[in-house]
Structure 1
Amino acid sequence: MTISRAQAASLGSLGEQEYVSAMCRKAIANEKMLVVSLRDAEIVPQLLVYSQLSGDESLLHKALPFIEGGWNHMQTIPVDLRGEINSALHTVLKNSMSGDSGRAPLTPQTIGRLLGLGVNHLVPDDYAQMFAEEAAPSLGRPRTASWRRSPAAKDVAAFRVIIIGAGVSGLCMAVMLEEAGIPFEIIEKNDEVGGTWYENHYPGAGVDVPNHVYSYSFEPNPNWGRVFGLRDELLSYLKRVADRRNLRRHIRFRSEVVEATFDQGGALWKILVRDSAGRVETLSANALIPAVGALNRPSIPELPGLRSFSGPMFHTAQWNHAVDLKDKRVALVGTGASSVQVGPAIVDQVSKLLVFQRSPGWVGLNGSYHTHYSSGTKWAAEHVPYFNMWQRFLLFWATGDITFPFVQRDDSWSHLDVSMNAKSHIVRENLVRHIESELEGRPDLVAKVTPKYPPWGKRMLRDNGWYRMLQRQNVELINHSVKALTNNALVDSDGNEYVADAIVWATGFKPTEILAPIKITGRTGRPIRDVWEAEGPRAYMGMTVPEFPNMFILGGPNTGMSHGGGVFFYVELQVRYIMQCLREVIERGNATMEVRSAVHDDYNRRVDEAHARLVWTHPGVSSWYKNAKGRVVALAPWRLVDFWKLTLSLNADEFIFSDRL
């Protein structure tokens, strides 16, 4: 699997040389600031930039014994060697200002070799190819599908696309449609862009993937404040993307898609839209792209007495900031990702925090979780060529497929009840040691919070002071689920009552009810919920479904990630694939394309076969990744590089095309 000749050549193109020269001149323009900043900046990206620009890898080999992975906290490069790297980079930046330093082009092979040294791990050839493609957007070549031959302007102008949702995936789709000149409109139910990062504003809300990975490859941000961003910083980033790309003019805010029906006679989608005033309008589009995501419908269990509770209660995704929790007895129901963030954020305000745990999750420590980027690192990311790119690559490696071996079942392993293989067991033992260290002297809590299933069986969580919070005098962990409510209390599964003034539901979403509550009807007259009723949501590549021509789902079935990676990468791959589909229809002069049933069914058979050997189908795991029938619906079973290969090129033979009327 290789990237195209055009892509590979562009990495060493004249435009790239001009970029390097301009950045070097920018860095050297304030030499005093350069010296101070390099002394303060993350050292491994500096080392990689130096090796790339100079062709000298001796310092990388010298530093290798002090590097144990992609995270900055996993390097212990001595001070004297850091100084040597600072000086060497300073010199090569000066020598590269004219653009005639004689450096070798940045090829996939160079990227793989340098990154391998930067993380002290062999980087396979296919990953090198993938990272080479990942480098291109930072140099102004976004991951998309360019026209192979210029279609007639009238054909492009006549092809209209409707996107549902202006979150991470909807905005990415819009950027690429704008680049291609294809008309589009986004229907957004909120009054702002951002999707989940607009809707989730609970205390402590943040991302558990590093920002340099949790962002678009074509919109790098050198000024991230933290390694792991909080909600406001992430939302600001998405707003800036919408503004920089002038996307708001395409967005119909405070409007919701109620239903969409494919009109076979006109080969168009008819989309019923209702605005905030209740006015209804029917729009027509050649292609429909739902980009609503999986985590957008809060789930509050329908419990006996739910509506009898007299105090305030709300879901974390619908946080009511008008409710003052100070000195209140607050019930926090659930111990998943949002709970682990909310609990430590509100514990100092409340008089009592009652934490209801149905089953514990693995909560691990990351040495960079609370790290703020230094001023020197941010300066270097903005002024030193490729520094930002190497930061992204290092973190991509650290959070990506490096963890995939841990989720694969080894049938010869003797402890399959608690771990998947020997490597998985080592991770488990490290996690247990962290729990025991944090909860020293509290064996009762250790027993309650230690999962009995393998790591990664449910979403892995970042320790945000969670275990220390559980030891606070005003915190009680109830190791039972909530079964009912009274007017002033919650009743657990043992029948015990816990009086509370307010309830925070940290009970997640409905990710297996993909595309709900929109009623989407295909060419045969069947709604998609009926098509999916027997086995749950399925789609080819997670994007296309037989009977639904010219509908391409972003964030569809089996496209979520849990072993690692950032959603932005997966979204960009899906968007690139969809752009290839749209290009195919327009360039061929067809009206529609629809995936063949046999292709769709074979793909989903392979998805299920792959999942059968992964941790998410472990008999000890019950999670929101599965639907009521036990099928894993939410997650992809692939490595990141596998999905990159799968979506790299469209095979038009897998689709049925219809002629224009």
Structure 2
Amino acid sequence: MRLDFTREDIDADDATIRAQAAQAPVAPLLAAVAQLTGEYDLLSDDIRPDPALPWMPPDYGYPSETAARARLSAADALIRYRDRRCPPPVEPDPKQLRALVEFVVAPAAVDDDYLELLQEELALGGDLRAPRWRVATTAPRRRFSVAVIGAGMSGLVAAHRLRQAGVDVRVFEKNTDLGGTWLENSYPGCRVDVPNHLYSYSFAQTGHWPQFNSTQPVLLDYFRSCADEFGLAELISLGTEVVEARWNDQTSRWALRLRDASGAERTHEANAVVSAVGQLNRPSLPDIEGIDSFGGPYFHSARWRHDIDVTGRRVAVIGTGASAVQFVPPLAERAARLTVYQRTAPWLLPVPNYHDDLPAEINWLLRHVPDYARWDRLTTFGRLQEGTLPQTIVDPRWDRSNNSVSAVNDLARRRLTAWYEAVFPDPALRAKVLPTHFYGAKRMIPDSGRYAATLQRPDVTLETAEIGRITPSGIQLADGRHVDHDVIVYGTGFQASRFLTPMRVVGAGGLDLHDWWDGDARAHLGITVPRFPNLFLMYGPNTNIVVNGSIIYFSECAARYITECVGLLLARDAASLDCRPEAHDRYNEWIDAATDERAWGVSDVHTWYRNGKGRIAQNWPFNLYDYWRLTRAPNPADYVLR
């Protein structure tokens, strides 16, 4: 994928220009055109989105008349720009940049710190999150190396930031290619549920996404392109699994035991280790009696068997989570009969353009006003900084017996229920698919209507009876019925709570990390763990986003924090950095207290958010700004430097 913003001069006639501008979301369109043309009076105070209106096409939160007027103003500015023969744009001065940023994130207040965050996300002036220190000047005679475990999205950004600072980095990847999640999950229909202008690195934005929410092959191509663009491929040892990481108290170094595909082992030493193995990388198969007795092919969606042709066969899908909602529709198109086994109905979120290609009009804008992609990203970021978080905050005075946790949570539930009534007209089916848990208690899943339509096909059955056991020929239900199947597909999620497994990690004094966690993983900022010096986690405990933003943002924040920790080590000429238990505990008490005030924290619905100890170990309970603020740089008082 091309990672550029090459601009083409505008030579279209007036009618064509007006037609191209007539479909774009208003806020990023006006900001991008104002920046390109220098006509900042386009940012009129009377053109602001209405927060009561849905952020969906065609008007994206604007009254229709306001949207039409704004788009016409943008088109007229582009016509004047064309008539001036498309001069190179002038970089906005600080006052103009603030006006642009405030316009697209309105009605949010923008103080100086938040403005800095937004400018980093925009990256109009280049990579604003690059480290400002270098090994060559901070510790020119010090040799310091870092081993990164995993070459997925998080591992790549960690390696990139550390290398920018001049740190010696090696990346070890168990798979034969990079990409992590976007390599392993190749099931039909796999795509991202965050708009792509936001689901991308701030330092590697592009206007060449083919869809609003791109598919797995496109995303894999993007991460491969990033690795090539930033010279990361040469750092990665593919087909190399880290079996064990062991800290040496005497040398203050980590020894990694590596195993290749042949089973041969070797050792690699490093001063620090970054675990970027993720939360959703080990498939979870359900504990169902007889699971290995099935006579036909069966597999997990994250290990899709592309050699199995389901055409004309009786297929079972167990699970109705995010992956299943994506692969059920294409499976139904090929199977003779599809039975979907549901334990808990998910909340589906209507996203009309979720499966759509970018319209020709948007592609025209991206060619002629390429920074439109940046402003669209920032508009989406501003909208998702809080996201639907306020709708999930528990009102302690609210009566939860009506299946909600607050007045705004109940309003969201009622609005979605109305949508369910429209797309599931059959009352019997609607009774099965309408969730009975709080809005926000489980992962909510975007759907353009495709999954909803699939469940209403005559050759598709949604089964909600409990599964008793798997038999050689199919599935025996607890109520005594038996359903014959030729193929079983498990869409049953991942071992999300088992952080860093199956790798063994041994810290100071020979302490085993998994023994210390005892099934309840915790870390300071989701990144550092007491008694495990110079070990840093990406996408660690309580850093999963639930109702706001993009996980790439969290990985960028963590990568900067880790890089700054290494900088602190070198600046202090220290051998190790170890999180103080009191800092770790204080942080986790803060997280737990907030979690107890969120819909997912007070719900008893079954969810992968909750670990075997009953604690929510995955989710971040605050907004995006708070994590950025906490991870800009380490507080030396939180650590022991030796």
Whether these two folds match at TM > 0.5 is yes
**Is 1:355–1:478's contact at 8 Å kept on the other side of the alignment?**
yes
Give the drift of 1:486: 0.9
Which stretch shows the higher mean deviation, 405-414 or 54-63? 54-63
Question: Which residue of 179, 182, 193 maps to 1:197?
Answer: 182
Map 1:488-637 to 2 at 5 A.
Answer: 488-533=473-518, 536-637=520-621
Counterpart position of 1:9: none
Distance 1:583 1:519, change over 3 A: same
Counterpart position of 1:654: 638
Map 1:375-386 to 2 at 5 A.
Answer: 375-384=360-369, 386=371
For 1:610, give the aligned amino acid: A
- The whole-number CA distance in structure 2 between the counterparts of 1:55 and 1:408 is 41
For 1:83, give the aligned amino acid: L
Give the drift of 1:512: 0.2
**Is 1:293–1:555's contact at 8 Å kept on the other side of the alignment?**
yes
Counterpart position of 1:40: 20
- The whole-number CA distance in structure 2 between the counterparts of 1:518 and 1:149 is 30
Counterpart position of 2:219: 234
- The whole-number CA distance in structure 2 between the counterparts of 1:97 and 1:105 is 23
For 1:122, give the aligned amino acid: A
**Is 2:565–2:634's contact at 8 Å kept on the other side of the alignment?**
yes
Counterpart position of 1:177: 162
Distance 1:127 1:427, change over 3 A: farther
Distance 1:107 1:195, change over 3 A: farther
For 1:444, give the aligned amino acid: A
- The whole-number CA distance in structure 2 between the counterparts of 1:618 and 1:108 is 42
Secondary structure of the 1:503 match is strand
Give the drift of 1:161: 0.7
Counterpart position of 1:430: 415
Which stretch shows the higher mean deviation, 78-87 or 396-405? 78-87
Question: Which residue of 628, 631, 637 maps to 1:644?
Answer: 628
- The whole-number CA distance in structure 1 between the counterparts of 2:511 and 2:286 is 29
Give the drift of 1:109: 3.9
For 2:447, give the aligned amino acid: D
Give the drift of 1:135: 2.3
Distance 1:113 1:508, change over 3 A: same
- The whole-number CA distance in structure 2 between the counterparts of 1:634 and 1:508 is 14
Counterpart position of 1:88: 77
For 2:117, give the aligned amino acid: M
Distance 1:481 1:139, change over 3 A: farther
- The whole-number CA distance in structure 2 between the counterparts of 1:324 and 1:23 is 41
| Identical positions, percent | 33
Q: Deviations over 1:142-199 (max 9, x none)?
A: 413311785366545x211100000000011111122111111110011111100100
**Is 1:69–1:398's contact at 8 Å kept on the other side of the alignment?**
no
Distance 1:296 1:103, change over 3 A: closer
Secondary structure of the 1:139 match is coil
Counterpart position of 1:282: 267
Secondary structure of the 2:219 match is helix
Question: Which residue of 172, 185, 194 maps to 1:209?
Answer: 194
Alignment of 1:141 onto 2:127: yes
Question: Which residue of 118, 126, 142 maps to 1:131?
Answer: 118
For 1:47, give the aligned amino acid: L
Equivalent pairs, count: 628
- The whole-number CA distance in structure 1 between the counterparts of 2:160 and 2:405 is 41
Secondary structure of the 2:358 match is coil
Secondary structure of the 1:524 match is helix
- The whole-number CA distance in structure 2 between the counterparts of 1:78 and 1:600 is 49
- The whole-number CA distance in structure 1 between the counterparts of 2:370 and 2:18 is 13
- The whole-number CA distance in structure 1 between the counterparts of 2:84 and 2:134 is 39
**Is 1:108–1:131's contact at 8 Å kept on the other side of the alignment?**
no
Counterpart position of 2:32: 49
**Is 2:242–2:259's contact at 8 Å kept on the other side of the alignment?**
yes
Question: Which residue of 463, 477, 482 maps to 1:478?
Answer: 463
- The whole-number CA distance in structure 2 between the counterparts of 1:153 and 1:116 is 41
- The whole-number CA distance in structure 2 between the counterparts of 1:212 and 1:462 is 17
- The whole-number CA distance in structure 1 between the counterparts of 2:141 and 2:363 is 45
**Is 2:20–2:364's contact at 8 Å kept on the other side of the alignment?**
no
Map 1:293-372 to 2 at 5 A.
Answer: 293-372=278-357
How big is the alpha-carbon RMSD for the aligned residues of Structure 1 and Structure 2? Answer: 2.5
Gaps of at least 5 residues in structure 2 are none
Distance 1:292 1:475, change over 3 A: same
